[in-house]
Structure formats: structure tokens, C-alpha cells
A and B are shown apart, each in its own frame.
Chain A
Amino acid sequence: MPVDAVVVDGRPGLLWMQMSDVTFSEPFFQQTIDRVRAENPDRPERFTEFDALLQLDQILTRVEPAGFIFHSSRCGSTLLANACRCLNNSIVLSEPNPVDKLVARFITDAVDHVKESLYSVLLRAVVNALGQREVGEQRLFIKFACCSISQLERIRRIWPQVPWIFLYRHPIETIVSNVLNLPAWLVDDDHRILAYITGTSPAEVAEMSIEELCARSIGSFFSTADTLANDNSMLLNYNQLSLPAICDILKFFNVPPSADELERIASGTRIYSKQVLAAREFEPDADAKQKLATDHVREVAERWAMQPYARLELTNHELK
């Protein structure tokens, strides 16, 4: 299975690991890879160029995606991914590196139609390789990294039939959460991705405060989701997240949960979603986040994110 997209000696390609005995039980793909490496440091890893992926794609038996999860960061998407994981016979890939990096190549390297098509073919083949059918597995869910929503139009062209959901949250709460615990996407040294998302230059991104960068980014995520929302999509605010809402999403993905699955989902939603050992209980924190917001957070949220958020809320309620 491809576990990362890397460049070795100037050759772009994939890093592969034998994963047939591994269950993706952690909240994030990379956490599973880290666990597997820690448990067995001698497990072989192999690099191939992308042509090997396309050869493999000709013969793979794969599980087609049942649903895509997009989000604006810190808004309950991991909880939803964990709920999908409670379904029998499901594979949930949460922000897998190879997918994330190939989607990013649309931004940094798809300079012409040929390259755009090539990256689309490679992305589809990577998802196929990640969704290799093991015994009984029938449902594949992918939770994309938050920046991937900027490439939603291209992703939809590859999988036009796959239903998708966009989860989002009030801008102030989102910014506060990100500032308190900085995510990799906001502090990436390669500023091209966020420059594209915010409609600025890498130099301007380098000069922005984290709060402003986050506000402009999530404003852009909201606008993209709002523009592209259609009959094949669902929008969900963090404040709407509940067990019935999760059931509705799973039904929307055409995988209505059974009673047993529902019970597992219910007990899972009581746990903090990103905890690998599932030891910390989930506590609603919207009020706390609002109280922690500085004047600067409120100012950048108002300037860059509140209008797209209001439009998205309107579309969300119109779609219902």
C-alpha cells in the first residue's frame, strides 16, 4: 500500500509498505503508519516511481469510495471519520499523506492541462491502491486534509458520483482552536499552497499573522464549499453535530448504520476524537473558544471569514 508520496534522487514517486495485516484504527492515517513503524522497525518499505502505481492500477481489485469528507479544520470531521470507522467492513483513510500530497501538486505543479490530467489519474490510482479490497471490505471513506477543499472541483471531476460532505465551524472558534494548537498546514514552510488558497503571494503569506492566515484560509474554504455545494453534497456546521446528524450523513453516503454500528458510534462520539488511546472524554467547547478570542482574532475573522461563513450558513439551510 502506498504510505507516502516522496521524491528520491530527484524522482517523484511513492513509498510502499506491506499493510495487509494492519487495521487503520487510529484517528489519522499517519498515526497508523507511525504505530506500524514503531512496532516493527524492520518492516520493509519500498520506493517506486509513479509508473508502478499505474501498472498496479490495471490489476487491482478495489473498493470504490462511498463518501468524501471535507472540512475547514477543527470542526468535527475526525469525529465523523471515526463514526465511519464504526461501520462493519469499512476502510477509513483519514488525511492520508499520498492523497494529500498529490492534491497539493494540483496547486504547485499542474501548470498545464497535461499535468492536471496526469495528477488526476495518479490521484485516482493512489486512492484505488489505498482502497485495495481485503476480505469483506466494501466501503471506503476518505477524509481529506482541510486544504484539499480548494481542489474540490478537480476531485469531483475524478469521482463525480461520490457524495461529499463539508464540515465547518464558526470562524472565531476555528481560529482560536488552530492558534492554541498549531496544525501543520498553517505552519508549512512551502507557502505556495496557502498563497493559492488566500489569493496572495508566498511572500505575503510569510508576513501574515497565524490568525490572519487562518481567517483568510477558512474564508476561502467556506466560499469554495458554498460555490460547489449541490445535490450530491451536504453541509454541516459543528453546532449541528449530533448522533442523529451523523446517522443522516451515513444515510446520505448510502450506508445506513445497523443497531450495533449505531451503538459503537454513540460510545465513540463521547470520546475526544483525535485521542489515539481513546482516553479523554469529549467536552463541547464553543463557549470557551469564544471567550478565548483576542481582539485580533475577532478583527481578522470579521474581515476575512464572517461573510463567507454567513453565505455558507444560508446555503446550508437552503439545502435542507
Chain B
Amino acid sequence: MNSNNLTPGKHVVVTDFDGGEGILVDLNTKKYFQLNETAMVVWKGLEQGKTVGQIADDITGQYEIPLENATRSVERIVDNFQTYKLLSAK
């Protein structure tokens, strides 16, 4: 699946917590996932329909890290979301 064609699954509930972190709940599996601040930025970016590149741009702006590193991080996080079947196609 093209990672730019992904959106958070309707079966997933997200809750903000503690100034940036969050908890995801997969309603199908009843599994809970804790997201760190970066993963929450990625999740919210996907919710807003942003591409991996756009989310990486956001992270570069917020955390002053090179775009290349930010892109790698976003791709890795998106891969993890996919592994746990938390995303679906747009």
C-alpha cells in the first residue's frame, strides 16, 4: 500500500495525553498503544490527510532535525502503524 494513500482506521480511537503523547485503542483487537510525541504528530498528520513528506516537513519545523532524518522517522512510524493494522486506504 502506498504510504501517501493512508488514513487512520475508523476502528481506532486516539486520546491526547500529557502535553503531546497519546494512547491509541484498536477497537477490533482491544489493544492499546502508547504514542510518543513524534508518533502523535504523524498520527495527527495522517488524520489531516497529509503525506509522509508534509508530515516530515512539520517535524523538521518543530524539532530542528534534518528533513532526511524526519522522513525516515515518519516512514518507520507509518510502517509500525501498518504492521498493527491501524491504517486504512483513503
Q: List residues of chain A with CB under 8 Å of any chain B CB.
A: 49-51, 54-55, 57-58, 113-114, 117-118, 120-121, 124-125, 157
A-B contacts, 14 of them at CB < 8 A, read A50-B25, A51-B25, A51-B27, A54-B13, A54-B23, A57-B15, A114-B32, A114-B34, A117-B17, A117-B18, A118-B23, A120-B17, A121-B17, A125-B15
Chain B positions within 8 Å of A113 at CB level: 34
Cβ of B23 and Cβ of A117 under 8 Å apart? yes
Q: A49-B30, A50-B25 are in contact. List 15 more A-B contacts (CB 8 A).
A: A51-B25, A51-B27, A51-B30, A55-B13, A55-B27, A57-B15, A114-B34, A117-B17, A117-B18, A117-B23, A117-B34, A118-B32, A118-B34, A121-B17, A157-B18
User: CA of A124 to CA of B18 in the docked complex: distance in angstroms?
Assistant: 11
Main SS at interface, chain A: helix
Q: How far is the CA of A117 from the CA of B15 in the complex (A)?
A: 11
With A117-B18, A117-B21, A120-B18 already in contact, the answer to whether A51 and B13 are too (CB < 8 A) is yes
The secondary-structure label for the interface of chain B is: strand
The size class of the interface chain B forms with chain A is 10 to 19
Give B27's nearest chain A residue, CB to CB: A51
Contacts of B34 in A (CB 8 A): 113-114, 117-118
Specify which chain B residues have a CB less than 8 angstroms from the CB of A57 in the assembled complex.
Answer: 15
- B30→A54 contact, CB < 8 A: no
Chain A residue numbers with a CB within 8 Å of B30 are: 49, 51
Q: How far is the CB of B26 from chain A (nearest CB, A)?
A: 8
Name which residue of chain A comes closest to B28, CB basis.
A51
Closest chain-B Cβ to A112's Cβ sits at a distance in Å of: 9
